[in-house]
């Protein structure tokens, strides 16, 4: 999978050099490139923002640098199946595990990190005429810019790319796969600070373990996230 990130803080994405995703990049499973939006400006101050038409607080990111940056990363690509531009925004559709799975099947993802009050809406409109564009929100709260949200999205999507997670079974036995939260996990020692591991897990009865775990998933989901049960 090819991933391009455009940001005014390219150094922010050094986190992608480490851990599981860093290893996946070394192995060639993920091809990640980070671009500085200011490289696509032409004035002495490398200006990326301006005041909003219609008034209001804050600044809006100018369309010209974004247009040039997207021209650069998209080249002559114009296949909505092969390329998705992701615009992180608290006004976007919610990011979910299902959406992460969808994005993991797209060969080329482009993440546009907005700052201030967002990017001139015509950038979305224009890019939509060439490739798929999705405005996506991490959740119902406001971040200062798209960088943290994009990092979270890349981690959630990247680990679903085949080969990135060593044991593919660990991808099915986790929260939000199958619509439930995951069951609680335990390891040695069997007794710790007066707390014992649930005996069913040590009995070796695989059927009993599976139904105990399913029961735990249901109980936890009912208690913490009843909205998931519909
Ligand atoms: Cl994707 N961006 C920003 N700036 N704030 C957010 C968000 C995204 N998702 C939730 N809050």
Indicate whether residue 138 lines ligand 1 (CB < 6 A): yes
Going by alpha carbons, the residue nearest to atom 7 of ligand 1 is 90
Indicate whether residue 116 lines ligand 1 (CB < 6 A): no
What is the Cα 144 distance to its own chain's centre? Answer: 16
Shortest-distance atom of ligand 1 to CA 138: 9
- Per-residue pLDDT band for 177 (boundaries 50, 70, 90) equals confident
Going by alpha carbons, the residue nearest to atom 2 of ligand 1 is 89
Distance CA 49, CA 29 (A): 35
Indicate whether residue 145 lines ligand 1 (CB < 6 A): yes
Per-residue tokens: 58 = 């804050």
Rounded distance from Cα 119 to ligand 1 centre (Å): 13
Mean pLDDT of 119-126: 98
pLDDT of 78 = 87
The residue to which tokens 């851990």 are assigned = 19
The residue to which tokens 């200062």 are assigned = 144
Distance CA 181, CA 217 (A): 6
The residue to which tokens 């925004």 are assigned = 89
Mean pLDDT of 51-56: 97
Q: What is the pLDDT of residues 60-96, one digit of tens each?
A: 999 999 999 999 999 999 899 999 999 999 999 999 9
Indicate whether residue 91 lines ligand 1 (CB < 6 A): no
Rounded (10°) CA dihedral 38, 44, 49, 55: -170
Q: Mean pLDDT for the chain?
A: 96
Percent of the chain with pLDDT over 70: 100
Helix pair angle (146-158, 19-26), 10° resolution: 60
Mutate to test the pocket of ligand 1, among 89, 94, 134, 147 (most ligand atoms within 8 A of CB): 89
**Under 8 Å between Cβ of 201 and 191:** no
Rounded distance from Cα 170 to ligand 1 centre (Å): 28
pLDDT of 53 = 98
Sheet with 31-36: strands ordered across? 31-36, 2-7, 108-112, 83-94, 132-137
Rounded distance from Cα 142 to ligand 1 centre (Å): 5
Distances (CA, A) of 128 to 10, 84, 100, 143, 217: 24, 9, 20, 25, 40
The residue to which tokens 């999507």 are assigned = 157
């Amino acid at each position: 999978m090819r991933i391009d990130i455009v940001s005014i803080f390219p150094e922010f994405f050094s986190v992608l050099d480490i851990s599981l995703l860093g290893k996946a990049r070394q192995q060639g499973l993920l091809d990640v490139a980070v671009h500085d939006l200011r490289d696509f400006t032409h004035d002495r101050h490398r200006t990326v923002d301006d005041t909003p038409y219609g008034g209001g607080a804050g600044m809006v990111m100018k369309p010209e640098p974004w247009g040039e940056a997207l021209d650069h990363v998209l080249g002559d690509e114009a296949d909505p199946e092969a390329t998705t531009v992701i615009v992180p925004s608290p006004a976007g559709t919610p990011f979910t595990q299902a959406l992460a799975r969808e994005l993991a099947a797209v060969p080329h993802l482009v993440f546009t990190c907005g700052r201030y009050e967002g990017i001139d809406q015509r950038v979305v409109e224009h890019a939509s005429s060439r490739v798929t564009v999705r405005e996506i929100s991490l959740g119902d709260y406001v971040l200062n810019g798209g960088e943290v949200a994009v990092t979270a999205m890349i981690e959630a999507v990247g680990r679903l790319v085949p080969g990135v997670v060593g044991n593919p079974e660990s991808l099915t036995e986790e929260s939000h796969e199958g619509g439930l939260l995951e069951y609680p996990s335990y390891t040695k020692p069997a007794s710790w600070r007066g707390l014992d591991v649930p005996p069913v897990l040590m009995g070796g009865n695989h059927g009993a373990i599976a139904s105990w775990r399913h029961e735990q998933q249901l109980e936890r989901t009912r208690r913490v996230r009843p909205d998931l049960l519909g």
